[in-house]
Structure formats: structure tokens, C-alpha cells
Amino acid sequence: MKHRTSHPLPLSLLLSLLAVMLALFSGCAGNKPAVPAPVVSTNAQGTAPTPGFPVTDLHTPPPAPREFRAAWVASVGNIDWPSRKDLSVAQQQAEIIAILDTAKSMRLNAIVLQVRPAADALYPSTLEPWSEYLTGEQGKPPRPYYDPLKMWIDEAHLRGLELHAWFNPYRARTVANSKSPAAASHVSKQRPAIVKQYGDMLWMDPGEPLAAKQTLAVITDVVRRYDVDGIHIDDYFYPYPVNDAKGSEQDFPDEVSWQRYLKDGGKLARADWRRQNVDRLIAQIHAEVHKEKSWVKFGVSPFGIGRPDRLPPGITGFSQYDKLYADVELWLQNGWLDYLAPQLYWPIDQAPQAYKTLLDYWIAQNTQGRHLWAGLYTGRITDTEQSWQPQEILNQIAATRDRPGSGGNLHFSMTVLMKDKKNIRDLLQQGPYQNVALVPATPWLGNTPPAAPALTVDSSAAANAKTPVMTAKAAAGTSLLAVWKRYGKLWQFSVQPASNTLISTANDPVYGALQEIQISAVDRLGNESPRVPHEFH
């Protein structure tokens, strides 16, 4: 199969196209959608033993595995969740549980949930209306009432998963996907002067100060009210160019804000002014997020090709610097991000946009040493002739691991993992994700380790429980417990929420008698306490 040499569809356009496809097929579905159940790979005995780590020092487990493993869950166009606009609350909630259970069974450690697809909200907000992707009508709350974002966060944390809230900073509406009128509280009604029609979209003009103010207020409100682990924005800054009927590229209609800038004494060229508008918003989000909660990470997932004047030889494609006015390299240079997740949606062997070459490029740009977690186009695994083979994704994960400057991946999107296209979910579970991993630590936001957990072992209960009862009580601020168990000359590693204080001391049906446990506390930034050991005799 020949691969395209031009740039592929970015995440934002993928969302729009997938939404249209889903809309076309949703009318054929029954009233009650099937909710995919999580699948955990098992051996012939029906168990799923986690591969262990060989002992090199009898009483010293190896360092905890660290890798960011996430999936995007897109709400725009009902791509991932909710799967349709007309689901009952019970069906929406069942899908949440199924997605999170599957993520945990795959040993992912984070979900990136789209909560603001188009100046709307998948949570109760006084700033923007309820999303029509939730209830089919913009401004209409779910009935019976519940808070979807709170449920996502609570259920994710119960499974030891991070939850990053994903916002689109400027998109106001995608007309093709909008079946209900805009609510009275929508920005297009409240502040029509800052919203522009561009192609089939309504777009907040980045040159309007009120547009940035609106987005900052929305993001800050979520950070303040919700226990999110990260704030995430994607590749939609100025919109991707659209052509008129004659095939000519249309310029974004920001003449009013541009002329105001010139009248106020602005000296920049128009393209530089547009980039400055986006730069300011990125810097402000970074500052405001950490002002509210110092431990919340801020990340951006831009288009995967950088500035044309810096690209490696042989790399070609769409210029987000010139068309989306996104100077991602500047954001990295200034440390305005806690993580960058460039959308590297090309095969390893596609030379003009080769995965490894572009990953190396972004590693080289990351002079501040922030997290670099590349986005993978796992959704290219389909039932069509154009499908990628799953091995491509496995090879890209391997290439990521080969590079010290890159610490993980995000999969676009959760649907392909839920449907297990070409067995990709099982291949990940049994291959690169066969052991759990902690999210890499973020020391620039804080590097003080939490206090070690206090272990209590009640051997007197063994007569009834068959094994000693162990509890691990962690100090306030602890997010997870990292648990090492030694069976003979093999260590096994697991992670559980700190709220779950009970530690299993059962023998393993595959590896035998439990001989030693060592437990550490892990805080919201990934800092790990000293390990507390306990031997069984």
C-alpha cells in the first residue's frame, strides 16, 4: 500500500470527519446501544499473571516503571463518548464505566476527556451551555441529573487513572454537526462580535481579548471546581484553512480585530500578530492553571510538523506555524507546557513525515526538559483495505521507548481500543503494556516526596482470612500506592489508589508463595516515597 506523502488529517479534522460518519450510521442503530465490556487477556488456566522482574538484589526491587499511557476520549460528534446524543443517563454512565474498566485492564494510566468541544460543556457550568453531544440539545442538562465530569474523575481515580480535561480554545461551533439551535448562553449569542463564520464553523477570533478571557475563565473554573490531573488543548488554534468555491484559500475574517491592533499602534506583521495572540493564551493558561493548583499539568497536542525553517532534511508537510499560527517551539523554549503531545500520525517508513525523525525533532526542541508524549494514530487500524497493521503502532511505541527524551504515548482514540480492531487491545496488553507503569514524575512543579506509608499487618486474622491482613495508610496528598511483591526470585509490580488501603497478601497461583512486600506512596506529581518493606516467614 502506498502511503500519502502530504500531511494527514490532524486530530481536529479527524474529529469532524468521524463525527459525520458516526452521524450517518447512528440512525441504523437500535434504541439500546451495545456497551463494550472490558477484556483482560488470560492464559489457559483463566488467569492473567503479570510478568515479573527478575531479582538482582534480593531485598531491592528495581525502580518503578514509568511511562505515560493514555487515550483520547472525544465527545465532538459523539466519536468516543457518549456514543450517541440520545443515550439515557444510565447508558452514558455504563459507557463511562466500560471505557475506564477497559483502560485499566489495558494498563493505561490516563484518560484525556474532551469536556469543551465547541464553547459548550459536558459538566454543569454558569459560563457555557450544556453540550448537545450529551443530550441532543445545547443547553439541556441530563435527566435524571448528574455531573458527567465528576463521575469521570471519581471513577478514573478509583482505578488509579489520571483524568485530563481536554478543551478546544477557540472553536465555537461546527455547523455540520450541530442539530439544535445555539443556547441563549452560548458565546455566539452572548458575544456575537467576537465569533466569526469560517467555512462551516463558528470561531472565536483569537485577536479579540474577550475570546481569550472566555477560554481562560472556563479552564480556570474547571481547575478550581474539579479534581482534574491535567488540562489539555489540541491542535485547533486559528482554524485549518478552507477554500472557497473556486478553490482559493480563504483568509480568516479578523479584519476588525486586526485594524484595532494597528490603530492602537501595533507594529507586527499580520501573521506575527496572530501568532502573538495564540502565544499569549498559551502562556496565560499555563500561569492560571498553576496559580489555582500547582500540581495540575498543562499539556498541548499540536499538529506533528514544526516550523518549516527548522525541519530536518526530507521532512515536508503542512505548516501549523504559518497556517494555524502556532509557534509550538517557542512554547517549549519558554517552558509554557508541562507536556507536549505532538500528533505524529504517520508510519515509521513514510519518509516525508517519518515518525522517528519527527519524534527526534521534537525531542531536540524540548530544551526545558518537559514531558514529551507523542500522539499515535491508532485509529488507522480499521476493517478496511487502507488499515494500518497493528505492528505499526507496536513499532512506534518501541521507537518511543528507544529515545530517552520521550516518555510515553497517547492513542487516538479510545473507540479503536474498545472495539479491539485487529486485536490491537490484546496485542498491547500482552506486549508493551504487559506491566503497569507510573506516570513520569513532574519535578519542575514540585519534587518533595510524600511520607512513606504506615504498614499494619494482622497475622492473627490469618486463621479466618487464610493470609495475614495488611493495610497501608498513606499521608494526605498521596495519590497512589506502588506495591512490589517478591515470589522467590521474581518481583511483581502493581499500583492501586491510596484510598484502597488493603494490600493483598495472597500467594500467587503462578509464582508461588509471597515472601516479601515493599510499598511506597506516590503523590499527584509522581514523586515517590521511600519503600516500606515487610517479609513473610
Helix axes 270-292, 209-225, angle to 10 degrees: 20
Percent of the chain with pLDDT over 70: 90
Whole-number Å distance between alpha carbons of 30 and 486: 50
Amino acid at residue number 223: V
- The per-residue pLDDT for 254 is 98
Q: Which helix (H) or strand (E) holds 322?
A: helix 320-323
327 or 19, higher pLDDT: 327
Binning pLDDT at 50, 70 and 90, where does residue 51 land?
confident
pLDDT at 482 (0 to 100): 98
Beta strands 502-503 and 516-523, pairing class: unpaired
Q: Distances in Å between the alpha carbon of 75 and those of 139, 304, 506?
A: 16, 22, 41
Of the CA atoms within 13 Å of residue 29, those in its CB half-sphere come to: 15
* Beta strand 110-116 pairing with 516-523: unpaired
Q: Say whether pLDDT at 408 is over 90.
A: yes
Residue 159 has pLDDT above 50, yes or no: yes
Q: Flag whether pLDDT at 118 surpasses 80.
A: yes
Residues of the chain above pLDDT 90, percent? 85
What is the full DSSP assignment across 8-20?
---HHHHHHHHHH
- Output the pLDDT for position 10: 52
Q: What is the pLDDT of residues 4-33, one digit of tens each?
A: 334 444 554 454 444 433 333 333 333 333
What is residue 119's three-state secondary structure?
Answer: coil
DSSP secondary structure code for residue 65 in this structure: P
Q: How is residue 129 written as a grid cell? A: 451551555
Per the CB < 8 A criterion, the answer to whether 123 and 450 are in contact is: no
- Give 58-94 pLDDT, tens digit per residue: 899 999 999 999 999 999 999 999 999 999 999 999 9
Residues 410-431 have pLDDT tens digits of 999 999 999 999 999 999 999 9
What is the rounded distance in angstroms from the CA atom of residue 480 to the CA atom of residue 422?
Answer: 33
Average pLDDT over residues 31-40: 37
pLDDT score, position 5: 34
Split at pLDDT 50, 70, 90, the class of 177 is confident
State the Cα–Cα distance between residues 237 and 91, nearest whole angstrom.
33
Taking the C-alpha atoms of residue 38 and residue 278, their distance in angstroms, rounded to an integer, is 40
State residue 25's pLDDT score.
33
Look at 21 and 127; give whichever has higher pLDDT: 127
* Interval 457-476 mean pLDDT: 81
* Sheet containing 195-198, strands listed edge to edge, beginning at the edge strand earlier in sequence: 171-174, 201-204, 195-198
DSSP string, 123-167: S--SSSPBPHHHHSSTTPPPSS---HHHHHHHHHHHTT-EEEEEE
pLDDT of residue 41: 36
Does 45 score more than 50 pLDDT? Answer: no
Sheet containing strand 454-458, edge to edge, reads 454-458, 469-473, 502-503
Tell me the C-alpha distance between 160 and 109, whole Å. 7
pLDDT of residue 39: 37
Residue 311 is given by DSSP the state P
Asked if the model's pLDDT at residue 527 lies above 80, the reply is yes
Average pLDDT (355-366) is 98
Distance CA 162, CA 230 (A): 8
Of 48 and 370, the structure prediction assigns the larger pLDDT to 370
Q: Is pLDDT at 487 greater than 50 in this prediction?
A: yes
pLDDT tier, 172 (very low <50, low <70, confident <90, very high otherwise): very high
The 10 Å Cβ neighbour count of residue 349 is 11
For the ranges 34-43, 444-453, 513-522, 526-535, which has the lowest average pLDDT?
A: 34-43
Which secondary structure element, helix H or strand E, spans residue 285, and what is its range? helix 270-292
Rounded distance, CA 15 to CA 9, Å? 9
pLDDT of 47 higher than 80: no
3 confidence band (pLDDT: 50, 70, 90):
very low
467 — pLDDT class (breaks 50, 70, 90): confident
Q: State the pLDDT at residue 459.
A: 77
The band of 461, judged by pLDDT with boundaries at 50, 70 and 90, is low
How far apart CA 307 and CA 376 sit, in angstroms, is 20
CA-nearest of 236, 362, 233 to 288 is 233
Q: Which of 28-37, 271-280, 304-313, 345-354 has the lowest mean pLDDT?
A: 28-37
DSSP class of residue 444? G
For residues 84 and 34, the answer to whether their CB atoms sit within 8 Å is no
**Grid-cell match 521507548, residue found:** 401
CA 350 to chain centre: 25
Coil, strand or helix: which one is 365? Answer: helix
d(CA 341, CA 358): 12
Contact yes or no for 53/511 (Cβ under 8 A): no
Asked if pLDDT for residue 248 goes beyond 70, the answer is: yes
Is residue 438 within a helix (H) or strand (E), and if so which, with residue range? Answer: none
pTM: 0.91
Average pLDDT value for the chain: 91
pLDDT for the residue numbered 269: 98
91 closest CA partner among 80, 82, 99: 82
